[in-house]
Amino acid sequence: MDHSADPNAEFCIVLEVSSNGTSSAWFDDVMVETTPVASTAFTWVRLLLGGPYTNGYMPPNLRLQNLLPALEPYTALGYAQAGGGGGEVAPTAWWSFNNLDGPVDWVRVELRSAMDPTVVVATRQGLVSQMGSVYGADGTSAVAFNVAPGNYYVAVRHRNHLGCMTATPVALSAPVATPSAHTGVDFTAAATNTWGVNARKVGDTLYNYRVLWPGDTNGNGTIKYAGAGNDRDPLLVAIGGGVPTGTLPSVYNPNDVNLDGTVKYAGSFNDRDPILTSVGGVVPTATRAAQLP
């Protein structure tokens, strides 16, 4: 019996004994033999965050200001963990990287059941580089999950951007001799099909990259500019609520939509405009929801 399509599925085994055409119930010891399978699945993931994105990459402002935490932030923010995820700590050596592989921020990768994509089988937090590659917490390898290789939906999430997910399950591999040969999911590519409608934003016309929608400052999965529970008001509260031209500098904060280390409500490079742009830029009462089941 092969259950590699969904390694976490449960099965009921029923035994019936038949003798000379007559079925009877018998009780005896039964041995069930299982064949161990590899317990680790790997995937390369690439994504770009729409808030900091500019000219094909994301500037590492949080890292350059020593604002990027060594411990992943998602557990503290209330994100449920699964399959051994949570508590990832980045190596301090990666903080000194000055090339395009240097980290921009923590992101979250989820594996979801091929049978039911609402079920999160495993989670991992990793660091996304300036060019969008998501590395495991060691800063060099693909993201590893404590699950058997098989078919899974792959979803990515960020603390103030809308998450997205592959449109269909992806076959993830066991460890291989050449790490770059692991299955990859490129959420920056227009050709990558995603769940739902308009799950990503067009980053620009020059590179034609797709980026995650920015502006979900309260992390509820919906970007909202006006009305109750909107994502704009928390910015104003963060800077003091009285003077909209004020700022909150040198912070690692979900209201910092463009990830430059400063919460800014008005003026150039503010964090309010991306929220309005994400909901369409014309009707401020419009909303945009994450395309996740």
| The pLDDT of residue 78 | 97
3-state secondary structure of 214: strand
Q: What CA–CA distances, in Å, run from 228 to 9, 24, 95, 224, 240?
A: 41, 66, 39, 9, 19
**Number of structural domains found in the chain:** 2
- Expressed as residue numbers, the domain containing 246 is 220-293
Asked if residue 125 belongs to a domain, the reply is: yes
Helix runs in the chain, H state only? 61-64, 233-238, 273-278
Which tokens is 271 given? 């964090």
Structure confidence by residue, pLDDT tens digits, 20-31:
555 555 545 555
Percent of the chain with pLDDT over 90: 70
Residue tagged 């402002």 (tokens): 61
With 80 as the cut, is the pLDDT of residue 138 above it? Answer: no
> How confident is the model over 101-106, as a mean pLDDT?
92
- Torsion angles phi and psi, residue 181, rounded to 5: -85, -5
Task: Verify that 88 and 224 share a domain, yes or no.
Answer: no
Q: Is residue 153 a contact partner of residue 45, using CB atoms and an 8 Å limit? A: no
The larger pLDDT score, comparing residue 74 to residue 182, is at 74
Pairing of strands 143-145, 41-46: antiparallel
Q: How far apart are CA 290 and CA 293, in angstroms?
A: 9
Instruction: Based on the fold, state whether residues 54 and 144 are members of the same structural domain.
Output: yes
Q: Find the distance separating the first CA and the last CA of the chain, reported in whole Å.
A: 29
The answer to whether residues 79 and 198 belong to one domain is: yes
Q: How many CB atoms lie within 10 A of CB 114?
A: 21
Question: Contact, 128 vs 109, CB < 8 A?
Answer: no
Q: Are 180 and 200 in contact (CB under 8 A)?
A: no
Mean of the per-residue pLDDT values of the chain: 87
- Whether pTM exceeds 0.75: yes
Confidence (pLDDT) at 37 = 47
Contact 18, 131 (CB under 8 A): no
Residue 147 lies in a domain: yes
Q: Please tell me whether residues 159 and 132 are part of one structural domain.
A: yes
What is the C-alpha separation between 100 and 60, in angstroms, rounded? 9
| Domain limit, last residue, from 177, 211, 245 | 211
| Same structural domain, 135 and 249 | no
**Cα dihedral 32/33/39/41 (nearest 10):** -90
Kindly tell me if the per-residue pLDDT of 176 is higher than 70.
no
Residue type, 270: N
Claim to verify: residue 116 and residue 202 sit in the same structural domain: yes
Of 211, 244, 262, which marks where a domain is finished?
211
- Domain identity same for 206 and 125: yes
